[in-house]
Amino acid sequence: MRLSCATGSPRRTLVLLAMTAFFAVVSTASQAAESAYPNRPIRLIIGFPAGTTDDFNARVLGGKLTERLGQTVVVDSRSGASGHLAAEIAARANPDGYTLMVAGTLTLASSITLFPKLGYDLLKDFAYIGTFASGPNVLMAHPSLPVKNFAELLVLIKTKPASLRYGSAGLASTGHLSMELLLARMKAQVLHVPYKGGSGVAVAVAGGEVPLGFMSIPSAIPLIQAKRAAALAVTSAKRSAGLPDVPTIAESGFPGYDVKNNFGVFAPAGTPVAIVTLLNKEIRAIAAMDDVRAKLVSQGVDPGSSTPGEHRALMESEVKQWARVVKDAKITLN
């Protein structure tokens, strides 16, 4: 027995040495690959079609990343299932930094409650790289509505809620969720009229089909300029650079109210920390560029970046907030 052990010991030692050498080679190769990143084109997935805010943000960011990283960043639209098709593709991709996704935190965060059988886990299947920009909504009123500002609207909602209706870009859209959060704070109810997309609600408010509507700032600006509707308040905590003269809901009596789609960059979970750190550094530098900021503001998008930790914390907070709103308002997509 002792002879057997003595004979086996050198073999085990050789095996251990071989395994150690193997893992050292793998580790060295992995580190070399990370240090050379990127050495081929990067795919930037979005969950909505061309012409949307997601597409605009991704193309601005992708163009600058191409310049700074020396590799082409290709925007790949995988629209469908309210952005979940793109998220599932991104979550299942190889975590090597060559497949990334641009998506809004509000859209993803509300999905956990709205779609209980998603093919991915939002908080486990992604590496959070950082936010890049944010898009608030603006509450618009048709000229026939007898209010001149947000304060007067609040009085009308409290005294004659049954006489009001509001439109949004659809069930569980950012406009719908924005209003339901506000109504929950007010302990009031107003009839919701969902339309198919932002253009639908813009046409409805401009034509007086509904007296109120939440819409994106790019959709609202032409109506404001043509005096076909008036802007009452924006949903972000701070005034939007796209509509600097329009007050926020927060400053109009609801402190802490802050609703916007924070557009961030995601990668599959397991993406090396070195790559996440590099990408975050580049994204934050891009978000601070004057020409980038001007492009974003021109489309009603507010520039603003964050660390990976701040990005994840924001998502966790939004998941809790929108779960509560969706359940309290009994919003379903069935």
pLDDT digit string, tens, across residues 274-297: 999 999 999 999 999 999 999 999
Which residues 6+ apart lie within 8 Å of 182 measured at CB?
249, 254, 257
Looking at the predicted structure, is the pLDDT value of residue 334 above 70? no
CATH superfamily of 136-252: Periplasmic binding protein-like II (3.40.190.10)
pLDDT at residue 117, as a whole number: 86
Distance CA 127, CA 270 (A): 7
Three-state secondary structure along the chain? CHHHHHHHHHHHHHHHHHHHHHHHHHHHHHHHHHHCCCCCCEEEEECCCCCCHHHHHHHHHHHHHHHHHCCCEEEEECCCHHHHHHHHHHHHCCCCCCEEEEEEHHHHHHHHHHCCCCCCCCCCCEEEEEEEEEEEEEEEECCCCCCCCHHHHHHHHHHCHHHCEEEECCCCCHHHHHHHHHHHHHCCCCEEEECCCHHHHHHHHHCCCCCEEEEEHHHHHHHHHCCCCEEEEECCCCCCCCCCCCCECHHHCCCCCCCEEEEEEEEECCCCHHHHHHHHHHHHHHHCCHHHHHHHHHCCCEECCCCHHHHHHHHHHHHHHHHHHHHHCCCCCC
pLDDT at residue 168, as a whole number: 93
Q: Give the residue extent of every domain in the chain.
A: 42-135+260-328, 136-252
pLDDT digit string, tens, across residues 68-122: 999 999 999 998 777 889 999 999 999 999 999 999 999 899 988 988 888 899 9
Residue type, 12: R
pLDDT at residue 1, as a whole number: 38
The answer to whether the beta carbons of residues 319 and 112 sit under 8 Å apart is yes
Distance CA 14, CA 161 (A): 80
Q: Is it true that domain 42-135+260-328 has CATH number 3.40.190.150?
A: yes
Given pLDDT bands bounded at 50, 70 and 90, which one contains residue 303? very high
pTM metric for this prediction: 0.84
